[in-house]
Amino acid sequence: MAFDIENFFKDQGRNNVILYYKGNVDSDVINHVLDTVEDKMVQVNEQSRLRKKVYNVLVESLQNLYHHVDKVPADFEDQASEKFGMLTVQKVEGGYKIITGNFVRTDNVEKLEEKIKRINRSDIRQRRRRPRSGGYSPQDRQQA
């Protein structure tokens, strides 16, 4: 049985989800998502420090969805979305869980997996030095 992303995201909806979104990701959606999540955290009197951390991670996650999404497959139901993405923000014990998803073309999978492995092998100091713009660092250019 294959992994079904739709069912995964729907199942997340049953457990303290404060926001679930799927569809086109553009600047209006990003602003709306950020405002909605911030408002919901204020409503439940979440600590300012935690709100700021969630907001920053959410900004980074949404920027990644916006800048690094591949086109939807021809057989996907939502052909109107130019930049399709999915997002769940869930309240968990001690904080929040942010889950994002987007399409990745098959020919980009290996390159993406290698980047993830490199990040996972690095320590926190190395991660902080890496560019966050989505562009290539000199190290990436040498390995390309």
The CA-to-CA distance between both ends of the chain, in Å, stands at 35
Domain spans of the chain?
A: 7-104
pLDDT tens per residue, range 34-76: 999 999 999 999 999 999 999 999 999 999 888 877 777 777 7
pLDDT tens per residue, range 78-98: 777 778 888 989 998 889 999
Structure pTM? Answer: 0.71
Reported as half-sphere exposure (CB side, CA atoms, 13 A), residue 63 has a value of 10
Whether 83 and 43 have beta carbons less than 8 Å apart is answered as no
pLDDT score at 143:
37
Whether 73 and 5 have beta carbons less than 8 Å apart is answered as no
Ramachandran assignment for 107, one of left (phi > 0), alpha (psi -120 to 50 degrees), beta (any other): alpha
pLDDT score at 57:
93
Q: Is 12 exposed, middle or buried (0-12, 13-18, 19+ CB in 10 A)?
A: middle
